[in-house]
């Protein structure tokens, strides 16, 4: 029971002294979440009230089922943009059909998370490398910012998710900028960024909402063209099962998969950091999938669109010293009270202020320092980051994330096909063997013996590369080579294709009068060698523990001791 509902692990042991910190954290996050939730709903193309709906039920469900005690679940900028990008081509923004699709999307994302959690697929987040995430989030942050220009300037720009479309529309637009709206929006952005630098504890979003609302109300600025939120339906969201349409589900499926991946990555990355820092509880990725899945499924019954853990709110929750999920329950209670009694207070909130809140929040997602570090140390990964960034900006955010994953996998395959290797030589009379290129003055390079260290598994993708290394190294020394040592200390697996090719390679070397030896084979590769036809070609007497043992045997100076034989030939007999 405690595995399914982790809340039971801490709620029964709840200490009264925790409540003060949890209460303060809950209030602090709610103050941030109310304006932020409405702002993120605008990104998704939904009425602001749906941001508050998304901040309610999912937060409660996650608290009951999640393993993180600080993760603040609710609407987030990235998922909101993905919702807008996916639904924008299927329906008109803000219509009843559009809203129903967004709610259905929450159900689908929840089901995908639930299935992945049941089958313990939490590891799949590893396929999203940091360069891909950084390139995607940086590109998406710019797209999100551009999507708010219509609220910031008062120019009615059509919903777009490509940089060139935004630029083209703005250049062609003949509608003048609403100066008052722009000045108010820019002032709020500068204020939010300044306050963030000055003191992070100040609820800057609530401050700008409060004072801008008063200004619009008392000076009738809405009558002068400053767009406001207007009426927000009062009351808690009604219980309603999402409308199922199989054709719509088919069209939404790719978007749901994309949001599922991004949402889980976002939640797990910040949760891991907090769990490692806190050390009072352990994070379970598979349970997190079940919790986020359930949060989205139950959320869809209460008119929520897709949600996940938010970076900024979780950081605020942690900084406010939230001890347990009680902080999230308090936050949810305040959201419920706001929906029940205080929605009228937000009637005069200017949309340009919500746009300012969004822009100031997402600009922090652009990590230039990380890109610079990659450029200096990992040019190939920097290329993946830049390509993902460009694809996200110019092709589309859904395409950007998928192409980014493909680029990462291609880079992984390329590295595996041409892994690091080194030809080793002995340092004087010692038992140390080092790279002949890195230690040219220290190692002894022999004409009659080659030692190749291959730092990867041998499989169908790199066996040809391995073969070229072997024969090219022999050709350079003509007919002088009499021994070839394969240092297998880093070879953790040999697949069937590589095994068959290895037999052919060894036989060819042996026909040339070259003795082939294998040293340092670790358990998995040693099991494969001894349990396959490889051992018949290599022979047990040519298996050694170290390069020194093999070299001494080749020189006729020493024979394998009983211990050396046991260590080099031991294998798993259960297979």
pLDDT digits (tens, 9 = 90+) for 86-127: 898 888 887 899 999 999 999 999 999 999 999 988 777 666
pLDDT in the model for residue 506: 96
Does 424 lie in the same domain as 388? no
Last residue of a domain, one of 368, 386, 410: 410
Structural domain harbouring 334: 18-410
Whose CA is closest to 436, among 450, 423, 455, 419? 423
| Cβ neighbourhood burial of 280 (10 Å; 0-12, 13-18, 19+) | exposed
The torsion defined by the Cα of 159, 160, 164 and 168, in degrees rounded to 10, comes to: -20
Kindly give the pairing relationship between strand 433-435 and strand 421-427. antiparallel
Does 45 lie in the same domain as 101? yes
Q: Is residue 3 part of a domain?
A: no
User: Which range, of 55-64, 295-304, 389-398, 557-566, averages the lowest pLDDT?
Assistant: 557-566
Over range 522-549, report the average pLDDT. 92
Q: Is residue 7 part of a domain?
A: no
pLDDT in the model for residue 69: 84
Asked whether residue 149 carries a pLDDT value surpassing 80, the answer given is: yes
Does 465 lie in the same domain as 401? no
Does 504 lie in the same domain as 374? no
Higher-pLDDT residue of 447 and 358 is: 447
pLDDT in the model for residue 570: 67
Over range 254-262, report the average pLDDT. 91
pLDDT in the model for residue 575: 41
Asked whether residue 573 carries a pLDDT value surpassing 70, the answer given is: no
pLDDT in the model for residue 401: 80
Torsion sign (Cα): 505, 511, 513, 518: positive
Number of Cβ atoms within 10 Å of the Cβ of 174: 5
Number of Cβ atoms within 10 Å of the Cβ of 123: 10
Does 482 lie in the same domain as 400? no
pLDDT in the model for residue 199: 77
Does 525 lie in the same domain as 383? no
Last residue of a domain, one of 359, 377, 410: 410
Q: What is the CATH number of the domain that holds 504?
A: 3.30.750.24
Question: What is the domain count for the chain?
Answer: 2
Last residue of a domain, one of 410, 435, 467: 410
CA distances from 362 to 185, 311, 427, 467 (A): 15, 10, 55, 50
Q: Is residue 8 part of a domain?
A: no
Non-local (6+) Cβ contacts of 398 within 8 A are 82, 85, 86, 254, 255, 258
Does 434 lie in the same domain as 372? no
Give the model confidence (pLDDT) of 316-346 as tens digits: 788 778 889 999 999 999 999 999 999 888 8
Does 471 lie in the same domain as 363? no
Number of Cβ atoms within 10 Å of the Cβ of 450: 23
Asked whether residue 366 carries a pLDDT value surpassing 60, the answer given is: yes
Asked whether residue 561 carries a pLDDT value surpassing 80, the answer given is: no
* DSSP symbols for 21-83: HHHHHHHHHHHHHHHHHHHHHHHTTS-THHHHHHTTHHHHHHHHH-S-SS--EE--HHHHHHH
| Residue showing tokens 């000055």 | 198
Torsion sign (Cα): 71, 75, 76, 80: positive
pLDDT in the model for residue 159: 67
The Cα–Cα gap between 185 and 152 comes to 6
* DSSP symbols for 362-393: HGGG--HHHHHHHHHH-HHHHHHHHHHHHHHH
Q: Is residue 373 part of a domain?
A: yes
Q: Rounded mean pLDDT of the chain? A: 88
Does 448 lie in the same domain as 351? no
Higher-pLDDT residue of 458 and 170 is: 458
Asked whether residue 158 carries a pLDDT value surpassing 80, the answer given is: no
Q: Is residue 89 part of a domain?
A: yes
pLDDT in the model for residue 167: 82
Report the share of the chain in percent with pLDDT over 90: 48
**Maximum average pLDDT range among 29-43, 229-243, 495-509, 518-532:** 495-509
pLDDT in the model for residue 317: 83
The Cα–Cα gap between 561 and 558 comes to 9
Q: Is residue 239 part of a domain?
A: yes
pLDDT in the model for residue 127: 67
Does 440 lie in the same domain as 494? yes
Does 357 lie in the same domain as 278? yes
Phi, psi of 571 (to 5 degrees): -145, 165
Alpha carbon distance, N-terminus to C-terminus of the chain: 37
Does 460 lie in the same domain as 385? no
Asked whether residue 72 carries a pLDDT value surpassing 60, the answer given is: yes
Q: Is residue 156 part of a domain?
A: yes
Cβ distance 53 to 224 under 8 Å?
no
Q: Is residue 4 part of a domain?
A: no
Give the model confidence (pLDDT) of 180-226 as tens digits: 889 999 999 999 888 878 877 777 888 888 899 899 888 877 777 78
Over range 288-300, report the average pLDDT. 96
Over range 174-185, report the average pLDDT. 86
Asked whether residue 574 carries a pLDDT value surpassing 60, the answer given is: no
């Amino acid at each position: 029971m405690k595995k399914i509902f982790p809340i039971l692990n801490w709620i029964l042991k709840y200490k009264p002294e925790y409540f003060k910190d949890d209460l303060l954290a809950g209030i602090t996050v709610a103050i941030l979440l109310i304006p932020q939730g409405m702002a993120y709903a605008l990104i998704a193309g939904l009425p602001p009230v749906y941001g508050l709906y998304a901040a309610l039920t999912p937060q409660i469900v996650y608290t009951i089922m999640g393993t993180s005690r600080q993760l603040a679940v609710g609407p987030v900028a990235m998922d909101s943009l993905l919702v807008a990008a996916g639904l924008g081509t299927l329906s008109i923004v803000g219509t009843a059909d559009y809203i129903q699709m967004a709610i259905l999307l929450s159900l689908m994302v929840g089901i995908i998370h639930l299935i992945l959690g049941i089958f313990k697929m939490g590891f799949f987040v590893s396929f999203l490398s940091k360069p891909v995430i950084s390139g995607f989030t940086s590109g998406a942050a710019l797209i999100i910012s551009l999507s708010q220009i219509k609220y910031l300037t008062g120019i009615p720009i059509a919903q777009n998710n490509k940089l060139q479309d935004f630029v083209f529309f703005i250049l062609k637009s003949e509608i003048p900028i609403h100066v008052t709206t722009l000045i108010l929006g820019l002032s709020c952005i500068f204020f939010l960024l300044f306050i963030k630098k000055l003191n992070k504890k100040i609820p800057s979003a609530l401050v700008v909402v409060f004072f801008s609302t008063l200004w619009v109300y008392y000076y009738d600025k809405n009558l002068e063209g400053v767009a406001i939120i207007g009426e927000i339906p009062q009351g808690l969201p009604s219980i309603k099962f999402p409308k199922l349409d199989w054709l719509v589900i088919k069209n939404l499926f790719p978007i749901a998969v994309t949001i599922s991946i991004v949402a889980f990555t976002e939640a797990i990355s910040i949760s891991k950091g907090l769990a490692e820092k806190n050390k009072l509880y352990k994070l379970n990725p598979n349970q997190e999938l079940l919790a986020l899945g359930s949060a989205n499924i139950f959320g869809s019954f209460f008119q929520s669109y897709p949600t996940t853990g938010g970076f900024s709110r979780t950081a605020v929750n942690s900084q406010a010293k939230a001890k347990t999920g009680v902080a999230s329950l308090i936050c949810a209670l305040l959201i419920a009270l706001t929906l029940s009694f205080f929605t009228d207070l937000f009637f005069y909130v200017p949309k340009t202020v919500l746009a300012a809140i969004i822009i100031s929040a997402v600009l922090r997602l652009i990590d230039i320092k990380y890109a610079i570090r990659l450029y200096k140390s990992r040019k190939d990964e920097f290329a993946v980051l830049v390509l993902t960034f460009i694809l996200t900006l110019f092709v589309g955010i859904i395409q950007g994330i998928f192409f980014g994953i493909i680029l990462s996998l291609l880079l992984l395959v390329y590295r595996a096909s041409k892994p690091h290797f080194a030809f080793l030589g002995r340092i004087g009379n010692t038992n140390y063997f080092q790279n002949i290129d890195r230690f040219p003055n220290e190692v002894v390079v022999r004409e009659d013996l080659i030692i190749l260290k291959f730092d990867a598994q041998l499989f169908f993708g790199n066996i040809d590369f391995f073969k070229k290394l072997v024969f090219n190294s022999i050709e350079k020394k003509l007919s002088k080579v009499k021994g070839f040592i394969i240092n297998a200390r880093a070879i953790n697996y040999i697949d069937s294709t590589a095994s068959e090719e290895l037999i052919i390679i060894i036989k060819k070397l042996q026909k040339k009068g070259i003795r082939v030896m294998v040293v340092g084979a670790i358990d998995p590769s040693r099991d494969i060698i001894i349990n396959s036809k490889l051992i018949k070609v290599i022979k047990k007497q040519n298996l050694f523990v170290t390069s020194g043992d093999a070299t001494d045997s080749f020189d006729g100076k020493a024979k394998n001791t009983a211990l050396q034989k046991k260590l080099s030939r031991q294998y798993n007999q259960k297979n």
